[in-house]
A and B are shown apart, each in its own frame.
Chain A
Amino acid sequence: MAEKPQFPGHDLGDQFRFWPKHNEAIYERLESKHTWVEEQQRAAGGDGELPLTEAEDDPLENEMILNMGPQHPATHGVLRCVLKIDGETVEKAVLDIGYLHRGIEKLAEHKTYQEFMPYTDRMDYLSPYSNNVAWCLAVEKLADIEVPDRAQWIRMIMSELARISSHCLWLGTGAMDAGAMSVFLWTFQEREEIYAIMDEVAGARFTVSHSRIGGVASDLSPRSIEMIRDFVASFPEKVDGWEYLLNRNRIWMERLKDVGRITKEEAIDRGLTGPSLRGSGVPYDIRRFEPYLKYDEVDFTIPVREEGDSLARYYLRLEEMRQSIRIIEQCLDRMTEGPIRADDAKEAYPSKEEVYYSMEGMIHDFMYTDVGTVPPKGAHSYHAIESPKGELGFYLTSDGTGRPWRVRINAPSFSNLQGLEYLLEGDLVSDAVINISSMDPVMGESDK
């Protein structure tokens, strides 16, 4: 048995120490957990007993507990993995999350529906626009607000750009985790272009908050449409380039192949979502499952791979980027002229012209900021979108005031991290970073 390590901080007397009970609970869990690795060893022993581990055999003790994170560059944020390793193999893994817990479900109860929007930017901070859209759609469903067509097209274009931007970051950092530096520079070049588009459309590069309840904040300018068209025209070539670079790279292929393999049944059972689930052969995509916005009117395919390993998830995300480009092209062609926000003072903000030049407009603006949308009392509804990471849903309960009674966030990274605990077990410790990056977790979202 591995010794329970001494925690830094235990000998500091009255000074601050990292909450000791918390650490003890993690180590207890690590002891009491039963994993399939253990079961396999029992089965191999034949008598149902655990065979002698290398550690007990070997005078040089090989078993140890490794603490990765929360401050670790490969954990994509503040994820903490406590791994029990035997030599190079991970026997048991316990993930500890919550280092970025800000309690946004609690904060939402004290805000009007529109006021909560900037908080959604900071959930999945790699694709803020998707979160804005998810939040708006959830509120619109709860309060029964109809969104004009043009706003829906704009939202679709921008969420697909957000998906590309998120996948670009995943590819860059994923390759960097595997030891390749140059891909990171290539993908960030493209991300930079998406930032520029976001800047032109929303006025902010990163945390955009551009979507509004009942529509969007501003129409696409001719310049931004031109920028999106340029991006759409040039991007597929870039993806081909990355694929050319990576698919012929033996180190990259062998690092990813067969790492973090999960079967279809296990993936469903463990509640994986998004590309991780589709990488195991489950064609579950909210854009098809329950189409929102105009996704039932455009032509695109849901890429699915059967292998279920990191390589499958890599192929799948590259293909998803290409499909996003297809969707954006169709949106640009089919976008109709028209209003961009619902024309009802109780459902959406009035336009700035109205606010500045008419008394009613100003009153409506004030009232909407003060009270905002008021869904009926006792109403509750769930609306999910396919965010770059998977199913992002909001389950809202209203008490008939301008503030939500309860906001429940179904965050895809949270579900995926739960599956990651299983993926890590049985793999090599050096593959842990590959596993983490192929799951693509964002701690802002999973920690809420």
Chain B
Amino acid sequence: MSDTPAPSGDSQDPEELQFHYTSSDAPRPEQETENAHAKDTTRVPDVIEALRKAFGASVLEVERYANEDTVYVEKERIREICRFLKNELDFEYFADLGGIDNFKDEDRYEVFYNIVSMERQKRIRLKVRVDEEDMRVPSVTKIYRAANWNEREAYDMFGFEFVDHPDPRRMYMPEDFEYHPLRKEFPQLGVPGSLPLPPQTPDGELTMDPFAAARGSEPVKSYEEPPVEQDDD
């Protein structure tokens, strides 16, 4: 995560060597209209209006970037809001669900819901904030059955506990695995020993760390090396 690489050399003034690639802090306002890839389908002011009318303060805030509306809603009411969207506003197709780890103290995680209305030709994104202390999120599988696997995946990857989920198993990782890999603190090369793999040789040991070489220790070889003969003369 280094947008401005640390300047090298001790005597140099750090100000002098700054790269020109500095990130701007906020989306520029004119981007909303100028983005060449922006679509009409993602602007839903009337839907947001209807949601505000029906749920009042439970609709926390609305964000817009690249012509896409994101509606932050209260976690506890997500199920009612989804039911309202499906039954009253024709958002019948559930496209996607997933988690985001923002790695901060308060409201660390987010869950987003990407729901489509074919009749209106609109797409809406709902987001709920989830605190680290309370990982429970009401499951929406009763309303959108397509959310089943997506919620399992979000549980697998982030550890959300989807309340009333009919099938709370992991999606990708085996049940014997203890970690949630898409959390930011999970190392990219995995945790050694968390998933024993088959031995590399017929009567070898289990492979505890497939990336041993990357960590600087001796990797397990998949073949027997011939003994090196020493010349004594």
What is A's interface to B at a CB cutoff of 8 Å?
Answer: 15-16, 19-22, 24-26, 29, 33, 97-98, 101, 103, 105-107, 109-110, 137, 140-142, 144-147, 268-271, 273, 282-284, 289-290, 292, 346, 367, 370-371, 374, 376-384, 391, 393, 395, 397, 399-403, 405-406, 408, 410, 414-415, 417-418, 447-448
Contacts and interface: CB of A to CB of B under 8 A. Distances in A.
Nearest to B171: A98
Contacts of A273: 95
B149 A414 contact: yes
Interface stretch (B6-14, B64-72, B77-85, B220-228): B64-72
Nearest to A402: B3
Contacts of B34: 144
B26 A141 contact: no
Contact of B198 (A16, A25, A110): A16
Given A19-B177, A381-B66, 18 more contacts: A15-B199, A16-B196, A29-B169, A97-B171, A101-B172, A103-B181, A141-B38, A144-B36, A269-B92, A271-B144, A282-B118, A371-B21, A379-B65, A381-B65, A395-B112, A408-B112, A415-B149, A447-B172
Contacts of A370: 5
A380 B37 contact: no
B217 interface: no
B224 to A, nearest CB: 19
Contacts of A408: 96, 98, 100, 112
A383 B149 contact: no
Q: What are the 8 A-B residue pairs with the smallest beta carbon separation, nearest first? A: A271-B146, A400-B23, A98-B172, A22-B174, A141-B37, A19-B174, A401-B3, A101-B172
A415 B146 contact: yes
Contact of A406 (B66, B96, B100): B100
Interface residues of B, number: 69
A296 to B, nearest CB: 11
A57 B188 CA distance: 54
B172 A383 contact: no
Contacts, number: 175
Nearest to B32: A144
Contact of A378 (B27, B92, B167, B174): B27
Interface of B: 1-3, 5, 19, 21, 23-28, 31, 34-42, 65-66, 68, 70, 92-96, 98, 100-101, 112, 114, 116, 118, 121, 123, 125, 144-149, 153, 157, 167, 169-177, 181-182, 186, 188, 195-199, 206
Contacts of A103: 181-182
A106 B23 CA distance: 22
Contacts of B24: 376-377, 400
A107 B146 CA distance: 26
A5 B151 CA distance: 29
Given A141-B38, A371-B19, A290 B123 contact: yes
B163 to A, nearest CB: 17
27 contacts: A16-B197, A22-B174, A22-B175, A97-B172, A98-B172, A98-B173, A106-B186, A140-B36, A142-B66, A144-B35, A270-B146, A271-B95, A271-B145, A273-B95, A289-B118, A377-B26, A381-B66, A382-B114, A382-B125, A384-B95, A393-B95, A393-B114, A400-B25, A401-B3, A405-B100, A408-B96, A418-B148
A408 B114 CA distance: 12
A395 B98 contact: yes
Contacts of A399: 1
B25 A377 contact: yes
Contacts of A367: 19, 21
A410 B171 contact: no
Most buried by B among A26, A408, A415: A408
Contacts of A33: 167
B176 A144 contact: no
